Amino acid sequence: MDDAKPFRPEARNPRGFGDRRARDLAAERSILASVSEVYERYGFEALDTPAFEYADALGKFLPDSDRPNEGVFALTDDDDQWMALRYDLTAPLARFAAQNWETLPKPFRRYAYGPVWRNEKPGPGRFREFIQCDADTVGSARPEADAEIIAMAVEGLEAAGLPRGQAVVKINNRKLLNGLLSTAGVGSEGQKLAVLRAVDKLDRLGPDGVRLLLGEGRLDDSGDYTKGAGLGAKGIEAVIAFTAAGRGGRSETLDAIAAAIGGSAEGDEGLAELQAIGVALGGLGVGEDRAVFDPSVVRGLEYYTGPVFEAEALIEDETGKRISFGSVGGGGRYDDLVARFTGERTPATGFSFGVSRLAATLRAANRTPGGEARGPVVVIAFSQDHMAEYFAVASELRAAGIPAEVYLGQSGMKAQMKYADRRRSPFAIMLGEDELAAGEVSIKDLDEGLAASKSLASNELWKETRPGQYAVKRAELVAALKQRLGSRA
C-alpha cells in the first residue's frame, strides 16, 4: 500500500510577477482610456504588435550566446530561431515600420499599450511584467515632432488624473552632452556611456556623488565599488556646470547651456533643436510650468540620438510641500533604430508612460483613477424554493445596467451579508417570505448602514433600528436603486 502523501505545490507568484485585482485593473483601464483619447485627438493611430519578437529584431539583446536571454525571456521556435517576449513597445514598432514602410503613411504616427517583460532582478516597485503606453512618430526629423510628443505627454498626464502643477516634463538633448564631451576630449564610446550613466544618477547621489563617478569611481554604503568614467578635474567640473545650467526659464537655460558647452558643432546643433522645440511648445500652449529644459536628464537606453524627455510627478505632502515622486514616463529621439533593418536612417521620436507607476503616483496624490472599485448588488438567497425569483431580480437589475449577482454559496444570512461587505457591494437585496407575500423587496444600503453603525451605542440598537434598510414595492426596485446610485455619484 502506498502511503506517500500527494504532491501539493506551494501557492506562490513567480518573483517579479504580481496579481492585480479590481482596483488595480480599474485604475489601469482608466489611465489607458484617458491617455488613448489624447493620442487619438492628436491624430495617432492605434497599433498592437505581438508579445513575442524574434530576438535579433529586439536590437538591445542580440543573440550572441547559446541562450540570448540576458534581460529578456527567450525560447526557440520550432525552426530553431530564438524568440523573446518584448521588453518595450518601441523595438516592435521599429520592426513593424521597417516591414511595412512602403505602405505606411509618412510620417507614421502610432500609439500602443500593453504588457512588456524584462528578465531583470526584481525588487520593491520593480517588476518583470508591467504595462506601458507609448506614442511615436516615425519618419519626421523636425524638432516640432519632438515638441508634439512632449505636448501629448503633458496632456496625457493631466488627462490621467495629475492636475496641472503636479507633473513636469524635463527635456534635454544628447547632442549637448556629446558636444561638451568632445570639447573636454572624451573620445571612446565606453567613456561617453560612463559619463551618461553618472549624470543619470544626479538626483539620487547629488553633485558630489556624481563627481566621484565621473572621476576614478565610487564606493557605496554597501561596499560595492563602481568604476568611474576617468575624467580629469577640468572635465568633471565642466560636466557638473552643464548639469546645473537648468535653473531658469527655457530661454535662460539655453543661454546657460551655450556658455557651458563652449560652442562645439554638435552642441550648437542640439541647442538649435531645443530652441525649435521651445518655439513649438509655445505655439502648442505648453508653458514653462509644464515643460522645462533640464541638462541633467539622461535617458538610460543607449539608442537615443537627440532630444530626450522625462516626466516627473510632483506630489504635495501632508504639510503642503511639493516633493518629487520620481519618473512616471520618458522618451526621446531614436533615429538609428529602424535603420538596423533597412540600412537607411529613419528619424523617429516617442514617449512612454509606465502605467502601473502612474497609477501608484495618482494613489499617493489621493486621486484614484477609475474611482473606487465596487462590487455588484447582492441578492440574498434565503431559500432554494425561491431561487427563480432571486434570479429574476438579478436579471432585471442587469438589464437596467446595474451589476448584480445572486449569492450562490451555502451559508446563512449573516455570512451572506459579510460576503456583500467583502465584495464592497453598495446594496443587498432581500426577498424573504414576508417581502414575497407583500409584493415588496427590502433594500439594505450597506454604505449608509456602515456610516450609521459608527454612531450607534450597541448591537441591540443597531438591530432594532436597522439603519440603511428600506422596503419598496417589487415593481419600484430598479427605480429606487437608480435614484440612490445617481445621488451617490
Number of separate domains in the chain? 2
CA distances from residue 141 to 46, 138, 206, 311 in whole angstroms, order as listed? 22, 9, 34, 22
**Bridge-partner residues for 130, per DSSP?**
116
Q: Please check whether residues 255 and 303 belong to one and the same domain.
A: yes
Q: What is the per-residue pLDDT for 297? A: 85
pLDDT band for position 163 (50/70/90)? confident
Q: Name which of 25-29, 229-233, 357-361, 454-458 the model is least confident about.
A: 454-458
Report the range of poorest mean pLDDT among 27-31, 54-58, 415-419: 54-58
Q: What is the pLDDT of residues 377-412, one digit of tens each?
A: 999 999 999 999 999 999 999 999 999 999 999 999
Window from 16-30, 104-118, 224-238, 263-277 with minimum mean pLDDT: 224-238
Residue 187 has pLDDT above 50, yes or no: yes
Position with higher pLDDT, 363 vs 395: 395
Rounded Cα–Cα distance for residues 179 and 113 (Å): 35
Instruction: Tell which of 364, 388, 418 closes a domain.
Output: 364
- Give residue 465's pLDDT band: very low, low, confident or very high (50, 70, 90): low
Q: What pLDDT does residue 489 have? A: 61
pLDDT at 482 over 90: yes
Same domain membership, residue 158 and residue 104: yes
Residues 405 and 480 in one domain: yes
388 shares its domain with 360: no
Helical pair 477-488 and 387-399, crossing angle rounded to 10 deg: 50
Per-residue pLDDT at 454:
53
What pLDDT, on the 0 to 100 scale, is given for residue 130? 92
Do 316 and 453 belong together in one domain?
Answer: no
Q: Are residues 110 and 154 in the same domain?
A: yes
Helix/strand/coil (H, E, C) string of the chain?
Answer: CCCCCCCCCCCCCCCCCCCCCHHHHHHHHHHHHHHHHHHHHCCCEECCCCCEEEHHHCCCCCCCCCCCCCECCEEECCCCCEEEECCCCHHHHHHHHHHHHHHCCCCEEEEEEEEEECECCCECCECCEEEEEEEEEECCCCHHHHHHHHHHHHHHHHHHCCCCCCEEEEEEEHHHHHHHHHHCCCCCHHHHHHHHHHHHCHHHHHHHHHHHHHCCEEECCCCCEEECCCCCHHHHHHHHHHHCCCCCCHHHHHHHHHHHHCCCHHHHHHHHHHHHHHHHHHHCCCCCCCEEECCCCCCCCCCCCCEEEEEEEEEECCCCCEEEEEEEEEEEECCCCCHHHHCCCCCEEEEEEEHHHHHHHHHHCCCCCCCCCCCCEEECCCCHHHHHHHHHHHHHHHHCCCCEEECCCCCCHHHHHHHHHHCCCCEEEECCHHHHHHCEEEEEEHHHHHHHHCCCCCHHHHHHHCCCEEEEEHHHHHHHHHHHHHHHC
The whole domain housing 472 covers 377-488
- Sheet with 440-445, side-by-side order of all strands: 404-406, 377-379, 427-430, 440-445, 469-473
**Residues 117 and 154 placed together within one structural domain of the fold:** yes
- Say yes or no to pLDDT of 35 above 50: yes
Question: Mean pLDDT over residues 461-474, rounded?
Answer: 73
For residues 435 and 447, the answer to whether their CB atoms sit within 8 Å is no
Statement: residue 337 has pLDDT above 80: yes
In a domain, 95, yes or no: yes
Whether residue 272 is found in the same domain as residue 333: yes
Q: Which of 364, 394, 422 is the last residue of a domain?
A: 364
Judged against a pLDDT cut of 90, whether residue 169 lies above it is answered with: yes
What is the chain's mean pLDDT, rounded?
87
Cis peptide before 369, with omega less than 30 degrees from 0?
A: no
Cell of 178: 556629446
Buried b (16+ CB within 10 A) or exposed e, 61-93: bebeeeebbeebbbeeeeeeebbbbbbbbbbbb
- Residue after which a domain boundary falls, among 337, 364, 391: 364
8 located within any domain: no
418 occurs within a structural domain: yes
Whether 158 maps to a domain, the answer reads: yes
16: in domain? no
Q: How much is the average pLDDT of 36-53?
A: 97
The whole-number pLDDT of residue 310 equals 93
- 157 HSE (CA, 13 A, CB side): 32
Asked if residue 479 is part of any domain, the answer here is yes
In this predicted structure, what is the pLDDT of residue 62?
Answer: 45
pLDDT above 80 (res 240): yes
pLDDT, average across residues 299-323: 78
Residue 356 shares a structural domain with residue 385: no
Q: What is the pTM of this model?
A: 0.83
Question: What per-residue confidence (pLDDT) applies to 222?
Answer: 75
pLDDT for residue 64: 45
Residue tagged 502506498 (cell numbers): 2
272 and 334 share one domain: yes
Residue 438 lies in a domain: yes
- How far apart, in whole angstroms, are the C-alpha atoms of residue 44 and residue 136? 8
pLDDT in tens, 141-159: 999 999 999 999 999 999 9
Q: Cβ contacts of residue 378 below 8 Å, gap of 6+?
A: 404, 405, 406, 407, 416, 419, 420, 423, 425, 427, 428, 429
In this predicted model, what pLDDT tens digit does every residue of 46-103 receive, in sequence order? Answer: 999 999 999 888 865 444 445 455 788 989 989 989 899 999 999 999 999 999 999 9
Model pLDDT, residue 361 = 84
Q: Which CATH number goes with the domain that contains 384?
A: 3.40.50.800
The answer to whether residues 143 and 291 belong to one domain is: yes
Do 261 and 156 have their domain in common?
Answer: yes
Mean pLDDT of 423-452: 90
Answer whether residue 141 is part of any domain. yes
Q: What is the CATH number of the domain that holds 342?
A: 3.30.930.10
